[in-house]
């Protein structure tokens, strides 16, 4: 039995040491403390010591001493138990936090004769709590700063959007509107938050809803939402707008919401439609006039030829001279009409976009030009594998005119040269010659209809070829320009989209 008690005592002692806890008692008469070795060790006092209450109270820091003294007095006088956590300084000057618990013990007559209790070293726990408090304070400060920053950003965003002339809006991942700028309400009517959620769909033209929904479905995968729709304005009319939106992503890369804008293109669309109609009517008129002029002109030429056979006289006579003038002018008029018809054809043709090897087309044209004039010795070179994304017929017209001009204007050159080159990577190509060239001061009218920089006596022509080139290039989404010097040749460059890479 004795061994068992000793074992239990050892076990209790080990538990006390591990928990940093020890027991104590105070005699109410002599007010001296007796405590366990662990209790005295907490305050760095010798084992078996029996200090007075005053000696122990002296170890408390001022903030903790007053409440501890009151708690002990209440326990001695009235038997009120206490449980306090106090900050102390041990006998060796080491700072320590202690939890002290005590309760009164009475004799048979009910008088309080002593206080018994326990104390525990809670320094580590208090240090951890302090760290937690500091972390919480830091987090609260950061949260406050972040909240303030977000508030400022939101205020800035709303100020900017409300001052913007275009309707700006935000929608969540489901497409529900969360914000519309003032410009939206100026256009559509109502007051915030009238069109929030999915109510804004009410103002979209019924015929545009399905396409808009399809664009939204694609946008959730592509990250780009765009299209054209008609919105019912506050006056009941429908305004055509283009819309586009981009997603705002969170730190994890997931879409949090979308920011979009509508641009009213109603007037632009109306002007474009009117311009297209005017161009179509002009082209039809040009084609009609050119076609209608061809027949009487052919009859004039035929009658002139018959008259030439009937009129006698020497080759140098006036009648022969007049007939030669008639024939020359009808030939020139025929060229003009053919040019106008070609120009109208370029504008009216239904384009079929496909990869076009302009190296092959240029080579074929130059070979034909050489075959037509075998006596000329022209050094020409075509870079291989120049390929654009365009219409084969339009590109043939472009190169036929550019190379025809290069061939014509290199006539006086001692050693004529023509080069066709470019870069598929840049989508930029050129036709260069070392012929007559021209003064760049007149380049502004170079691509106009019937505009010529050389007289008929120098080089024949109609002034329609370069206008045809400019229109054909523009129809395919490119642009054309020239660079030249008088007597040093000319370079005509143009851009066109390249073939998409697989």
Query: Is residue 421 helix, strand or coil?
Result: strand
- The reply to whether 164-264 shares the fold of 14-121 is yes
- CATH tag, 266-348: 1.10.287
pTM for the predicted model, two decimal places: 0.41
The DSSP H or E segment spanning 493 is strand 489-495
What's the CATH number for 351-502? 3.30.565.10
502 residues of the chain, pLDDT tens digit each: 556 555 554 444 444 444 468 889 999 989 999 998 888 989 999 988 999 999 999 999 998 999 999 999 999 999 999 999 999 999 999 999 999 999 999 999 999 999 999 999 988 888 888 888 888 888 888 877 777 777 777 666 666 666 678 888 889 988 899 988 888 998 999 998 899 999 999 999 999 999 999 999 999 888 889 999 999 998 888 999 999 999 988 888 888 899 889 999 888 877 777 667 666 665 665 555 555 666 666 676 676 777 777 666 556 567 666 677 777 666 666 665 665 566 666 666 677 888 999 999 999 999 998 999 999 888 999 999 999 998 888 888 889 888 988 888 887 788 999 999 999 888 999 999 998 777 777 666 776 655 555 545 555 555 677 888 888 888 888 888 988 888 888 899 999 887 776 5
Q: How many other C-beta atoms can be found within 10 angstroms of the C-beta atom of residue 287?
A: 17
**Which pair of structure tokens corresponds to residue 260?**
């979009």
> 206 in the Ramachandran plot: left (φ > 0), alpha (ψ -120 to 50) or beta?
alpha
Q: Domain spanning 14-121: which superfamily? A: PAS domain (3.30.450.20)
| Cα–Cα distance, 58 to 55 (Å, whole number) | 5
Among candidate residues 441, 466, 434, 473, the one with its CA nearest the CA of residue 452: 466
CATH class of 164-264: alpha beta
Q: Do residues 239 and 266 lie in contact, with contact meaning Cβ atoms separated by under 8 Å? A: yes
The pLDDT assigned to 9 comes to: 46
Calculate Rg over the CA atoms of the chain: 50
Beta strands in 192-343 (DSSP E): 225-232, 238-249, 255-264
Q: Could you tell me which residues come within 8 angstroms of residue 295 by beta carbon, excluding any fewer than 6 positions away?
A: none
Both tokens of 9, joined, read: 């005592």
Domain boundaries, the chain: 14-121, 164-264, 266-348, 351-502
H/E segment holding residue 379: strand 379-382
First-to-last alpha carbon distance for the chain, in angstroms, is 93
Q: How far apart, in whole angstroms, are the C-alpha atoms of residue 483 and residue 446?
A: 11
């Amino acid at each position: 039995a004795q061994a068992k008690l000793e074992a239990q005592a050892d076990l209790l002692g080990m538990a006390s040491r591990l928990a940093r806890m020890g027991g104590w008692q105070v005699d109410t008469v002599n007010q001296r403390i007796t405590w366990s070795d662990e209790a005295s060790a907490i305050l760095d006092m010798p084992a078996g010591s029996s200090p007075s209450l005053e000696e122990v109270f002296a170890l408390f820091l001022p903030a903790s001493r007053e409440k501890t003294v009151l708690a002990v007095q209440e326990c001695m006088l009235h038997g009120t138990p206490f449980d306090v956590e106090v900050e102390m300084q041990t006998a060796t000057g080491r700072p320590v936090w202690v939890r002290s618990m005590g309760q009164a013990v009475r004799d048979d007559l009910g008088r309080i004769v002593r206080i018994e209790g326990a104390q525990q070293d809670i320094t580590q726990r208090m240090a951890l709590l302090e760290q937690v408090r500091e972390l919480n304070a830091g987090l609260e400060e950061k949260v406050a700063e972040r909240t303030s920053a977000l508030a400022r950003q939101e205020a800035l965003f709303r100020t900017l959007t409300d001052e913007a002339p275009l309707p700006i809006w935000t929608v969540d991942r489901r497409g529900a509107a969360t914000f519309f700028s003032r410009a939206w309400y100026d256009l559509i009517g109502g007051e915030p938050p009238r069109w929030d959620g999915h109510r804004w769909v009410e103002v979209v033209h019924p015929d545009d809803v399905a396409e808009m929904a399809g664009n939204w479905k694609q946008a959730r995968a592509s990250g780009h939402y765009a299209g054209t729709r008609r919105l019912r304005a506050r006056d009941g009319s429908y305004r055509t707008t283009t819309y586009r939106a981009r997603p705002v992503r969170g730190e994890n890369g997931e879409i949090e919401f979308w920011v979009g804008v509508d641009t009213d293109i109603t007037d632009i669309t109306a002007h474009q439609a009117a311009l297209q109609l005017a161009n179509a009517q002009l082209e039809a008129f040009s084609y009609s006039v050119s076609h209608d002029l061809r027949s009487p002109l052919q009859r004039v030429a035929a009658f002139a030829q018959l008259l030439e056979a009937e009129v006698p006289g020497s080759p140098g006579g006036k009648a022969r001279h007049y007939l030669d003038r008639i024939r020359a002018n009808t030939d020139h008029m025929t060229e003009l009409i053919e040019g106008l018809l070609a120009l109208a054809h370029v504008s009216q043709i239904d384009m079929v976009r496909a990869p076009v090897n302009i190296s092959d087309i240029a080579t074929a044209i130059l070979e034909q030009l050489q075959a037509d004039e075998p006596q000329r010795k022209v050094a020409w070179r075509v870079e291989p594998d120049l390929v654009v994304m365009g219409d084969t017929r339009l590109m043939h017209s472009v190169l036929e005119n550019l190379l025809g001009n290069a061939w014509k204007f290199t006539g006086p050159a001692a050693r004529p040269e023509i080069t066709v080159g470019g870069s598929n990577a840049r989508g930029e190509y050129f036709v260069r010659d070392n012929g007559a060239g021209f003064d760049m001061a007149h380049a502004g009218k170079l691509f106009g209809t019937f505009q010529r920089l050389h007289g008929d006596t120098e080089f024949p022509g109609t002034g329609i070829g370069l206008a045809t080139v400019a229109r054909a290039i523009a129809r395919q989404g490119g642009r054309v320009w020239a660079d030249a010097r008088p007597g040093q040749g000319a370079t005509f460059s143009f851009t066109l989209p390249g073939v998409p890479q697989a």
